[in-house]
Amino acid sequence: MSFTSVVIDYGAGNLRSIERALAVAGLAPRVVAEPGAVGQPDLLVLPGQGHFGQVARAFRASGFEAAVRDHVASGRRFLGICVGLQLLLEGSDEAPGEAGLGLLPGWVRRFPHGAAPVPQMGWNRLAKGPDFPLLTGVASGAYVYFANSYYADVGLENRPAASATTEYAGVSFLSAFSLGNVHATQFHPEKSQAVGLRILSNLAAVTSGTAA
């Protein structure tokens, strides 16, 4: 049976480059703008870029939240990218009144002022954990592409065992993780060339099953 993926179009993501990268990785993507068109793909992708509050409001107004929660509960694979990762947490300093999905305990915080240029724009390294199937074939220290002013602060007690971190502005932050069938990257795999394509192709092989 062929692998299928769906990219959610709720008005907050660089959809065409994500769609092209998923196609190159062999994940047979289609972009949908209506929750009823999601169906039951092997992989559901939640992109996001821009202000957390605007993205969270657009996502909820789109009606896709129930589809995302149902998909995650079913045990099928899910991928959040950039602000799509941040939406999985409880909320953000960028828009404290807008709740995240709360799939991972934690909060989104801004990089410190003056420590480095904000936003972080460009290539930075991944430091991956010892057992992280999403990053199979990706060397620790590999470069991926970031565009973010805010980062996921989950604390050591909540950090998934399958995860990677990145250093910027004096902060070591969660840059990728897998929690059961929920996968997420703060960086943009669709802009990360061969490394990003390898990560996307790994989604076809990672074990599914609901998050604990």
Active site residues: 82, 188, 190
Please tell me the distance from the alpha carbon of residue 8 to that of residue 31, in angstroms, as a whole number.
6
Quickly tell me which residue has 């997420």 as its tokens. Answer: 184
Residue 114 burial class via C-beta count within 10 angstroms: exposed 0-12, middle 13-18, buried 19 and up: exposed
- Cross-strand pairs, 109: 151
DSSP state of 126: -
Measure the CA–CA gap between 49 and 3, rounded to whole angstroms: 26
- Measured distance CA(82)–CA(46) in Å, rounded: 9
CA angle at residue 69 from 67 to 70, to 5 degrees?
65
